[in-house]
Amino acid sequence: MPCPERHVIILGSTGSIGTQTIDIIERLNQRGYAFSVVGLAAGKNVERLAEQIKRYHPYAVCIGKETEGEILRQRFPKVRVFTGEKGLRELARLDEVDLIVNALVGAIGLPPTLDGLSLGRTVALANKESLVVGGELVTKFLSEYGGAILPIDSEHNAIFQCLRAGRLSEVRRVILTASGGPFLRVHKEELDRVRPEEALCHPNWAMGSRVTIDSATMVNKGFEVIEAHFLFHLPYERISIIIHPDSVIHSFVEYHDGSLLAELASPDMRIPIQYALTYPKRVETGLPRLDLEKISRMEFETLDHEHFPAFATVLKAAKQGGTSPAVINAADEVLVERFLEGGIPFTGIASGLQTILSRWESAEANLKEISSDAGNQDEVILSTLLAADRWARKAARYLSF
Ligand code: MG
């Protein structure tokens, strides 16, 4: 029996996860699947988006700037062209969409996730910030509107797979693996002098530049703890981290009976992407398989908090909740940019995050105050989160070292 047609929107289609999603869709369609790309969104890469429009014929697209939107409208008069953050929201609300792949980078990814969920849609989520910044809102939308999230982030995808072996009530804890990034063995005193190109060299994974730097500081792992907290409804005490430099095991679930389940695979994001696309089915990917004989051994070690001070700061913000995670996320985005431009030392990312979090006061109180206002409460909370994001961006840009 032929597979039913599935209409997909890819937000962030020209980035690392977006292009790998398209690769998987092509592979699946060659195997008899019928994925049809009906919407695409890119931030700046108008040329690559134009190539994708020619190849996949979406009926709507979104690009960051209005001037670029105008270029696309002239080149593709039959395609609906949206622009900017509003455009992302329009795209997520298009009619007849079966699946939204959200591969945007940054807090900009939260509103379209909420829009998709508000229509009861399934969101294959690679945009961590949807949960880091808006985890409470996303949880509320999931329970109110009946949509679903399928995690693409490799660790969460691994946990999601391992959870099929038991009930959530049977889980003792989940253990996220962390490679330790490029500076695991670099002496603490030398971290001040590491250059952007060294930080961009992740030992195992090929990823976008923000997440690669976030892996080097371990901010990424802090964000992933927040993701796991909201995705799997686990208190922070039941989410652990283990350093596993080999990146073979993508995470563990420990059940009450002492059984530890793990997911192992080649470090290739196309595997979790495909799992989200074909879920609950598993099909051939045609990708290289893990060769256990070649691996022969695996290592694990404890996370050294002194070596990775940013991890504790992210976790502190996570436990504060409210707008604090939004603040940390936005500050980190700007501090990473400043490091990549050569403006601040690598260690400035961690120290800057700490300073900015301590400046952001009574975050929860702000949220409660505003939530008593009239109007659409969800939109009010969303705009409060985005206001915190803007505040933190400015604070991070002008923070002196
Ligand atoms: Mg990850």
Of 97-106, 274-283, 376-385, the range with the lowest mean pLDDT is: 376-385
16: pLDDT strictly greater than 80: yes
- CB contact burial 148-176 (16+ within 10 A = b; e otherwise): ebbbbbbbbbbbbbbbeeeeeeebebbbb
215 Cα to the center of ligand 1, angstroms: 9
Q: What's the gap in Å between 174 CA and the centre of ligand 1? A: 14
Q: Give residue 73 CA to ligand 1 midpoint distance, Å.
A: 36
Evaluate whether residue 119 is within a structural domain: yes
For residue 273, tell me if it sits in a domain. no
Q: Which of 107, 129, 151 is the last residue of a domain?
A: 151
Cα(400) to ligand 1 centroid in Å equals: 30
Residues 136 and 162 in one domain: no
Distances (CA, A) of 61 to 9, 14, 72, 231, 289: 9, 12, 9, 29, 35
CA-CA distance, 272 to 265, in Å (whole number)? 10
Lowest-confidence range among 118-132, 187-201, 333-347? 187-201
pLDDT digits (tens, 9 = 90+) for 215-252: 999 999 999 999 999 999 999 999 999 999 999 999 99
Weakest-pLDDT range from 32-46, 58-72, 156-170, 373-387: 373-387
Alpha helices by DSSP H, listed for 93-128, are: 110-118
From CA 225, how far away is CA 213, in angstroms rounded? 17
Determine the pLDDT at residue 370. 53
- Residue 366: predicted pLDDT: 56
pLDDT band at residue 189 under the 50/70/90 scheme: confident
pTM for the structure as a whole? 0.94
**Does the structure show a pLDDT above 80 at 2?**
no
- Note the pLDDT of residue 393: 95
pLDDT at 1: 60
Whether 11 and 46 share a structural domain: yes
pLDDT at residue 176 tops 90: yes
Residue 113, pLDDT score:
98
| CA 198 to ligand 1 center in whole angstroms | 20
**Position 141 in a domain:** yes
Distance from the CA of 205 to the center of ligand 1, in angstroms?
9
In 137-218, DSSP assigns E strands to: 148-151, 171-178
Indicate if the pLDDT at residue 293 is higher than 70. yes
pLDDT tens track for 352-397:
999 999 998 654 555 555 555 556 899 999 999 999 999 999 999 9
Question: What distance in angstroms lies between residue 250's CA and the mean position of ligand 1's atoms?
Answer: 8
Q: How far is ligand 1, taken at its centre, from the CA of residue 373, in Å? A: 37
28 shares a domain with 12: yes
How many angstroms separate the alpha carbon of residue 251 from the centre of ligand 1? 10
10 Å CB burial of residue 266 (0-12, 13-18, 19+) is middle
Q: Calculate how far, in angstroms, residue 239's C-alpha sits from the geometric centre of ligand 1.
A: 14
Please report which helix (H) or strand (E) contains residue 290, including its range.
none
**Range 171-182 average pLDDT:** 96
Residue 100 CA to ligand 1 centre (angstroms): 19
**Under a CB-based contact definition with an 8 Å cutoff, are residues 276 and 151 in contact?**
yes
Taking ligand 1, which is a single-atom ion, which protein residues have CB atoms under 5 Å away?
Answer: 153-155
Task: Indicate whether 78 and 110 sit together in one domain.
Answer: yes
Distance 254 CA to ligand 1 centre (A): 19
CATH code at position 58: 3.40.50.720
How far does the centroid of ligand 1 lie from the alpha carbon of residue 234, in Å?
18
218 plus 73 within the same structural domain: no
Over pLDDT 90: what percentage of the chain? 86
Q: Do 321 and 199 fall into the same domain?
A: yes
- Find the 10 Cα to ligand 1 centroid distance in Å: 19
- Of the residues 151, 182, 202, the one at which a domain ends: 151
Please state the domain count of the chain. Answer: 2
Q: Give the per-residue pLDDT at 200.
A: 86
What integer pLDDT is reported at residue 363 of this predicted model?
A: 47
Q: Check whether residue 389 and residue 321 sit in a common domain.
A: yes
Average pLDDT in the 169-191 region? 94
Measured in Å, residue 93 CA sits from the centre of ligand 1 at 27
202: pLDDT strictly greater than 80: no
Residues 11 and 87 occupy one common structural domain: yes
233 CA from centroid of ligand 1 (Å): 18
CATH code of 375's domain: 1.10.1740.10
Domain around 350: 157-267+303-397
Distance 372 CA to ligand 1 centre (A): 36
- Decide if 82 contacts 94 (C-beta within 8 A): no
Does the pLDDT value for residue 322 go beyond 60? yes
Which residues on neighbouring strands pair with residue 37, listed in sequence order?
8
User: 35 forms bridges with which residues in the sheet?
Assistant: 6
User: 71 CA distance to ligand 1 centroid (A)?
Assistant: 35
